């Protein structure tokens, strides 16, 4: 069964410091990986997906199949980055298209 692990429940960093939110997955097929974000009093929304290979709000994430990881990174944290971040995996090969979410990491950027 597919599984997504976010080892940190809470991550606190100072403004301007680099950020890395960890995500590891276990899956034997062809996964699609996503990062979703929920800002305070806002809806859960898609931040980025690995197949896009884009940078959103300064965040990037690289799929490392060897390490089965999809860590989210930003070189300089901003206060507005404080939010709840969820890593998610979708089975793109079996046709079910179900998303499996990690438990989330709360990022707190200290001014």
Which residues sit at the interface with other proteins, rule CB under 8 A?
Answer: 4, 6, 9, 34, 43-46, 49, 86, 90, 92, 97-104
Nearest to 59 by CA among 90, 105, 25: 105
Residues 31 and 68 sit within 8 Å (Cβ to Cβ): no
- CB of 86 vs other proteins, minimal distance in Å: 6
Is the separation of the CB atoms in 34 and 28 below 8 Å?
no
Which one, of 59, 61, 4, lies nearest residue 31 by Cα? 4
Give the nearer residue to other proteins in terms of CB position, either 14 or 97: 97
Q: How far is the CB of 63 from other proteins (least distance, A)?
A: 16
Comparison of 43 and 111: residue with beta carbon closer to other proteins: 43
**Residue number with CB closer to other proteins (18 or 45):** 45
């Amino acid at each position: 069964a597919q599984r997504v692990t976010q080892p940190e429940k809470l991550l606190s960093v100072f403004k301007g410091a680099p950020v890395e939110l960890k995500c590891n997955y276990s899956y034997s097929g062809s996964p699609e990986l996503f990062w979703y974000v929920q800002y305070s009093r806002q809806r859960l929304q898609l931040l980025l997906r690995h197949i896009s290979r884009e940078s959103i709000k300064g965040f990037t994430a690289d799929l490392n199949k060897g390490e089965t990881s999809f860590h989210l990174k930003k070189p300089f944290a901003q206060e507005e980055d404080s939010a709840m971040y969820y890593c998610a995996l979708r089975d793109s090969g079996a046709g079910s298209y179900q998303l499996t979410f990690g438990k989330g990491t709360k990022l707190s950027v200290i001014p």
